[in-house]
Amino acid sequence: MTIKLYCFGESGNSYKAALTLQMAGAAWEPVYVDFFGGEARGDAYRTKVNPMGEVPAMVDGDLTLTQSGVIQQYAIDQTGSALGGQAADKYEVLRWVLWDNHKLSSQAGVTRFLLNFLPEEKRPEGAIAFLQGRLKAAYGVLDAHLAGRDWIAGEAPTVADLSCCGYLYYPEPFGFDRADWPNIDAWLDRLAAQPGWAHPYDLMPGHPSDRA
């Protein structure tokens, strides 16, 4: 049975789930959600897919899961993928997935949305500056952690890497310049060279140009 992932290309949280399913070798297909058209907040989506009104959401037969980290773990459990890491790295992988969700992706997603998907006159400049300050601190933590190592946890790519990269391949500007963070830059190149990796706009339907 093919897993259905409700997602859209601009969503970094969807990308984490989609990339994990792809690199784990799961049988899956994207189901486009018209987020900017309000689909995720509509009664039909909330009733049938995700009452939280968010993406990603995953449906596998009678099972529905939401939240990217949960979907990532499901993909690993179903496929036995090495992306779960070695047993000794279990808690380190989880530590970085939780850190990303709290310190990195949560800030990057909002900042990118405010700077690219809201009309300029509606952008809260004070909030953007505050978020970018928090992001700078997070980039510093990640860049320092990656000094002298190839991967975030263990000796091979894991969902810790696939979680923390969620927003860092997008081309839209939100205050992240890879050249400023050489260890992150090299890590993103290493990850992009792995079998099964794909850019978010190649992996999922939905692109800003669709609304141009």
Q: Would you state the pLDDT for residue 1?
A: 80
Q: For the chain, how many structural domains are there in total?
A: 2
Same domain for 185 and 138: yes
Look up the domain containing 159 and give its range.
84-192
- Is residue 186 located within the same domain as residue 158? yes
Q: What is the pTM of this model?
A: 0.97
Residues of the chain under the 70 pLDDT cut: 212
Same domain, 97 and 166: yes
187 and 91 in one domain?
yes
Kindly state whether residues 137 and 63 are assigned to the same domain. no
Nearest to 66 by CA among 7, 12, 19: 7
* pLDDT (0 to 100) of residue 212: 66
CATH of the domain at 74: 3.40.30.10
Q: What is the CATH number of the domain that holds 132?
A: 1.20.1050.10
Which residues, 6+ apart, have CB-to-CB distance to 31 below 8 Å?
A: 4, 5, 6, 7
Q: What are the DSSP calls for 116-185, one per residue? A: HSS-GGG--HHHHHHHHHHHHHHHHHHHHHHTT-SSSSSSS--HHHHHHTTTTT--S-SS--GGG-HHHH
Res 34: pLDDT: 97
Single-letter code of the amino acid located at 194: Q
**pLDDT for the residue 15:** 98
